[in-house]
């Protein structure tokens, strides 16, 4: 079948809106009609060419919601008409990671996903007879996409896709990092570095957890208003200080914060976040994704004196079992999604969504088909 898609033909190039061919779903696969998709910084990261797993030409996008159109052989957990969120972190329930109960990092389709192909090693997308690669197992920048059955969360059909698509990545990541990774407790102090969709979701979840002080850090002060609405208590722009921001945070808290979160993808800020953590027990969660070849560093003394460095992927959330419940929470207002949607537009304007993100003017742009 034909599908309108925004194709990344090469790194650093604007996406091109073309009509691609989509082959039918094979065994264990599902054809989805995407209705809405958010644009996450990770899409921009991969488009920039900095992603070691970036392959081109590809159809990016991984923060979507849609409806099942057709299922391949052997698919039993979803049927045409079901409402779904594609998952870049699958959940097969059978691999060593799923069975461990310790991690959401299912490996069922991860290796082929990282190469931009379906589990059988081939791609369902083509353009002028040439293959187009998949992205993060989702490719939500195509109106029709094929994903593995294990990469689909079935959700309440009453949910508003313009909002719950954000649970496909950004908001779930931030909320999960607070509750599953850091396990923030009532009264804990928190510092959040970077106030995009991820950082603001961390702020929202920190308030849910009844955190005490919630210190937010961003170079763009325009982000502070929404952070305040979500519960932030202290607002720091590193440009306003002539000393390292970790020193500012340690001085204003005594010994540092109980939990810090890096939501940018900058290895220097990752260090600052770690060094903002409380001596003896403070922990710092890396959420941001850094480019090929970049490494983190700090004085080992920072860890010797009790700080912990952690990381979080998709907020530690198991997509098929836990995401439907998060959709319900959003429908009940326990998770707020609407404030994240600062812009909506059609697929034809998708390059503007990337521009708005780079200019710091959006939190999330949601594309509708």
Active site residues: 40-42, 62-63, 92, 95, 98, 106, 110, 169, 364
Instruction: Decide if residue 265 touches ligand NAD (CB under 6 A).
Output: yes
Tokens representing 133 are: 């690669």
Q: Which stretch binds ligand NAD (CB under 6 A): 13-21, 131-139, 179-187, 283-291?
A: 283-291
- In three-state secondary structure terms, 45 is helix
Nearest Cα neighbor of 92 from 80, 83, 81, 103 is 103
- DSSP states of 314-335 as a string? GGG--HHHHHHHHHHHHHTTSS
State the residues that interact with ligand AHE by CB under 6 A: 40, 42, 51-53, 89, 105, 110, 169, 289, 313-314
Interface with Zn ion includes 272 (CB under 5 A)?
Answer: no
Structure letter (DSSP) for residue 203: H
**Could you tell me which stretch among 79-87, 281-289, 298-306, 329-337 binds ligand NAD (CB under 6 A)?**
281-289
The reply to whether 42 sits near Zn ion by the rule CB under 5 A is yes
How far apart are CB 355 and ligand NAD at their closest, in Å? 12
CB 259 within 8 A of CB 243: no
Please list the residues that pair with 19 across neighbouring strands. 4
Choose the contact partner of 264 out of Zn ion, ligand NAD, ligand AHE, none; CB within 5 to 8 A by kind.
ligand NAD
Among 350, 330, 332, 348, residue whose Cα is nearest residue 340:
330
Token pair in block for residue 115: 């190469």
Give the nearer residue to ligand NAD in terms of CB position, either 137 or 197: 197
CA distances, 296 to each of 44, 199, 287 (Å): 21, 20, 13
CA distance 293 to 228: 35
Q: Tell me the closest approach of the beta carbon of residue 239 to ligand AHE, in angstroms.
A: 27
Among 169, 257, 323, 341, binds Zn ion (CB under 5 A): 169
CB atoms near residue 297 (< 10 Å): 10
Residue nearest to ligand NAD (CB): 196
Site string for ligand NAD, 19-58 (x = CB under 6 A): ---------------------xxx--x-------------
CA-to-CA dists, residue 190 to 134, 186, 246, angstroms = 37, 11, 13
Pick the closer one to ligand AHE by CB: 52 or 333.
52
Q: 167 vs 29, 86, 117, 198, 207, CA distance in Å?
A: 22, 10, 24, 11, 18
Q: From the list 40, 147, 178, 286, which residue makes contact with Zn ion (rule: CB under 5 A)? A: 40
Residue closer to ligand NAD by CB (options 28, 256) is 256
Which of ligand NAD, Zn ion, ligand AHE, none is residue 288 near (CB under 5 to 8 Å by kind)?
A: ligand NAD
237 binds, among Zn ion, ligand NAD, ligand AHE, none (CB under 5 to 8 A by kind): none
Residues that bind Zn ion (CB under 5 A): 40, 42, 169
């Amino acid at each position: 079948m034909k599908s309108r898609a925004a194709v990344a033909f090469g790194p650093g190039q604007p996406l091109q809106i073309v009509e691609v061919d989509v082959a039918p779903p094979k065994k264990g696969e599902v054809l989805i009609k995407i209705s809405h998709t958010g644009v996450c910084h990770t899409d921009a990261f991969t488009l920039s060419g900095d992603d070691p797993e970036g392959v081109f030409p590809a159809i990016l996008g991984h923060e979507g919601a849609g409806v099942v159109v057709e299922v391949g052989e052997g698919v039993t957990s979803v049927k045409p008409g079901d409402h779904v969120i594609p998952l870049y972190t699958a959940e097969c329930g059978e691999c060593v990671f799923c069975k461990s109960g310790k991690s959401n990092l299912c490996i069922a389709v991860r290796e082929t996903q990282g190469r931009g192909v379906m589990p059988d090693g081939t791609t369902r997308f083509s353009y002028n007879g040439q293959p187009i690669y998949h992205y993060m197992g989702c490719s939500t920048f195509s109106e029709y996409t094929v994903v593995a059955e294990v990469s689909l969360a079935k959700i309440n059909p009453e949910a508003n896709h313009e909002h719950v698509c954000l649970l496909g990545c950004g908001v779930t990541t931030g909320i999960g990092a607070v509750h599953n990774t850091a396990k923030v407790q009532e009264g804990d102090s928190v510092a959040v570095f970077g106030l995009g969709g991820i950082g603001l979701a961390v702020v929202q979840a920190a308030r849910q957890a009844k955190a005490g002080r919630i210190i937010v850090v961003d170079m763009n002060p325009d982000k502070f208003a929404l952070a305040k609405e979500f519960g932030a208590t202290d607002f720091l722009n590193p440009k306003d200080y002539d000393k390292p921001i970790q020193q500012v945070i340690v001085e204003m808290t005594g010994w540092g914060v109980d939990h810090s979160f890096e939501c940018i993808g900058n290895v220097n800020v990752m260090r600052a976040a770690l060094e903002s953590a409380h001596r003896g027990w403070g922990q710092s969660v890396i959420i941001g994704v850094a480019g090929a070849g970049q490494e983190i560093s700090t004085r080992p003394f920072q860890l010797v004196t009790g700080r912990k460095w952690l990381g979080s992927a998709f907020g530690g959330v198991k997509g098929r079992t836990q995401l439907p419940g998060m959709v319900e929470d959003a429908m009940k207002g326990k998770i707020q999604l609407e404030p994240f949607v600062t812009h909506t537009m059609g697929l034809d304007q998708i390059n503007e969504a990337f521009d708005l993100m780079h200019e710091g003017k959006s939190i999330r742009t949601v594309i509708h088909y």
